């Protein structure tokens, strides 16, 4: 019998965070001639509460391409919030490169709530109610939430410091690239060039940061919710900056 073809495997992951521009970054990277990004965004194959409906063979077929590429990647925001994913990815793909795009944690939490309301899984009519319900939800039966559970934990799923630490402990700092929605939106050429250098690629970028999943205008965060978030997320951005050794742009 002839030699069997090698299975195409991913070596590039956009981990999240959700509602921070992961779709736009997925599209931007997919336009680079040396990167193949999966046609299915958010396969979420390795998350314990995953939504992938296909088989393992279906998943790995996402990375097949006739092009000669250096990176085959996918984007699943659940990989950042789900605490069980980091050890799985490291065990299977220890040499992979990881990309994380963030935004101000309170704004991200509010944006996620609005997203969940638009798409109907969130039954609570106000952000304040949802934040108040979060502790009980986290201690309850997650299977009754009817969706990826961490998407109902608006504050807790915005704890970037805890999430990044899980990956840095396993992959090391040199295999992780962390940026923000503000940096990509305001200084795309500079930030995308930095990302290409991290990947060891020539800079070949779109003219601008693609805009996808743009949310409609929604009310500002109410005072009670701001106070809850300030208490729950106190020091998160400072701890992330200290971990990375630089000050990120948290202005969006």
Please identify every residue annotated as catalytic: 19
> In 3D, which of 35, 31, 32, 34 has the Cα closest to residue 13?
35
Maximum CA extent, the chain: 69
Alpha-helical runs (H) found in the chain: 22-30, 56-61, 78-81, 85-92, 105-118, 127-139, 160-171, 181-186, 188-199, 223-232, 236-244
Beta bridge partners of 176: 98
State the sign of the Cα–Cα–Cα–Cα dihedral 155, 117, 98, 47.
Answer: positive
The full length of the chain comes to 252
Question: What contacts 22, CB < 8 A, 6 or more positions away?
Answer: 14, 16, 41, 75, 77, 101
In the block, residue with structure tokens 């934990």: 153
């Amino acid at each position: 019998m002839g030699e069997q073809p090698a299975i195409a495997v991913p070596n590039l992951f956009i981990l999240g965070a959700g509602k921070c521009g992961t779709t736009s970054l997925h599209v931007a990277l997919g336009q680079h001639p040396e990167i193949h990004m999966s046609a299915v965004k958010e396969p979420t194959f390795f998350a314990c509460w995953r939504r992938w409906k296909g088989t393992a063979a279906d998943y790995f077929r996402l990375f097949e391409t006739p092009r000669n590429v250096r990176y085959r990647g996918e984007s699943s925001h659940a990989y950042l919030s789900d605490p069980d994913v980091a050890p799985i990815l490291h065990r299977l793909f220890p040499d992979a490169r990881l990309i994380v795009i963030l935004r101000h944690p309170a704004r991200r939490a509010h944006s996620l709530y609005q997203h969940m309301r638009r798409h109907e899984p969130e039954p609570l009519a106000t952000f304040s109610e949802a934040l108040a319900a979060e502790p009980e939800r986290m201690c309850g039966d997650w299977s009754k939430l009817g969706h990826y559970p961490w998407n109902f934990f608006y504050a807790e799923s915005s704890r970037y410091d805890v999430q990044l630490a899980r990956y840095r402990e396993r992959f090391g700092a040199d295999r992780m690239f962390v940026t923000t929605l503000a940096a990509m939106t305001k200084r795309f050429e500079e930030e995308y060039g930095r990302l290409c250098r991290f990947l060891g690629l020539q800079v070949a970028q779109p003219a601008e940061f693609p805009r996808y999943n743009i949310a409609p205008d929604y009310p500002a965060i109410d005072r009670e919710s701001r106070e809850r978030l300030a208490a729950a997320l106190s020091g998160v951005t400072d701890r992330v900056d200290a971990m990375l050794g630089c000050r990120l742009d948290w202005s969006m």
